[in-house]
Amino acid sequence: MLRIDKIQENLQTKKLGKKVLFLREVGSTNDLAKKMADYRASEGTIVIAEMQTAGRGRFGRAWFSPKGGLYFSVILRPNISPKEAAKLVFVAGLAVAEVLHENYGLKAETKWPNDVLVGGRKVCGILGEMKTKGEKINYAVIGVGVNVNVNVERNFPENLVNVATSIENEFGGKVRLEELFKLLLEKLDSLYEEFLKEGFTQVLKRWKKYASFLGKTVEVTGGTERLCGLALDVDDEGALVIRLEDGMVKRFLVGDVSLKQ
């Protein structure tokens, strides 16, 4: 069982993790965090579970959440517009990539808009949701799922085996979940502060250092569209900029990207 009290004792954060709700099992930490936010849970409150029975991903996809992974959601209440709050998923993606690289020596990659990969396979997914209040947001919930102490070949469903990986698979052994959770919270806390004080530019610059899909031919799916082109950039709105085969340049604000073989 995760020793949350031990983590909180020496957690070096300004805002995140002062209140942490730990559960052995939950449907989805994002769903519970949203309910708590509706009941006025304060900024920085975290819901973490050992496993999820209805873990959710983007576009209504399921997020496989067996024991051994890290599943948590952070409630944030920044005084910013929905358009700015949409960039928080990049802040979270960067936090994960930097921790995996700096603390575990893994060659982490960020993939637009909010995945973290190692060796081309997904190790972490992020689900950002928000409730708006006029021009501003009431709250944002950032859900982070990391495949940690699980063996993907042995324990994951067949359809995920070639696209997913875990820290155990890449690191070559188990890591301490408490330690990883603490490092992620501290990194996310400092990047969140930086984002609020200085804006998106520096966060994006750091995020791009890990974005190995840039400069490569990719396939983008956005809504009903499926297009192929050269990934040129992620702009300061968080949009993916692609040069299509006919030379036209197109921006995507939502969608998914995969490397074209």
CA separation, residue 59 to residues 117, 127, 247 (Å): 19, 10, 29
Smallest distance, Å, CB 100 to ligand BTN?
16
Count residues binding ligand BTN (CB under 6 A). Answer: 19
Tell which one of 64, 71, 156, 195 touches ligand BTN (CB under 6 A).
71
Contacts of 238 (CB under 8 A, 6+ apart): 86, 87, 90, 113, 200, 204, 253
Chain positions 4 to 43 lying near ligand BTN, rule: CB under 6 A, are 28-30
Q: Which residue's C-beta sits nearest to ligand BTN? A: 125
Residue 84, number of CB atoms within 10 A of its CB: 19
Q: Does the protein bind ligand BTN through residue 45 (CB under 6 A)?
A: no
CA distance 13 to 11: 6
Q: Which is nearer to ligand BTN, 78 or 93 (CB)?
A: 93
Q: Which is nearer to ligand BTN, 116 or 232 (CB)?
A: 116
Instruction: Check if the beta carbon of residue 260 is closer than 8 Å to that of residue 217.
Output: yes
The widest CA-to-CA distance across the chain, in whole angstroms, is 57
Q: Does the protein bind ligand BTN through residue 93 (CB under 6 A)?
A: no
Q: Which is nearer to ligand BTN, 51 or 175 (CB)?
A: 51
Q: Does the protein bind ligand BTN through residue 145 (CB under 6 A)?
A: yes
CA distance 38 to 6: 28
List the beta bridge partners of residue 168: none
Instruction: Check if the beta carbon of residue 126 is closer than 8 Å to that of residue 71.
Output: no
Tell which one of 17, 44, 55, 68 touches ligand BTN (CB under 6 A).
55
Tell which one of 143, 229, 238, 255 touches ligand BTN (CB under 6 A).
143
Tell which one of 16, 44, 63, 117 touches ligand BTN (CB under 6 A).
63
Interaction pattern, residues 101-130, with ligand BTN; x per rule: CB under 6 A? --------------x---------xxx---
> Mapping DSSP to helix (H, G, I), strand (E, B) and coil, where does residue 14 land?
coil
Residue 131, number of CB atoms within 10 A of its CB: 13
Q: Does the protein bind ligand BTN through residue 255 (CB under 6 A)?
A: no
* Residues at the interface with ligand BTN (CB under 6 A): 28-30, 52, 55-58, 61, 63, 71, 73, 115, 125-127, 143-145
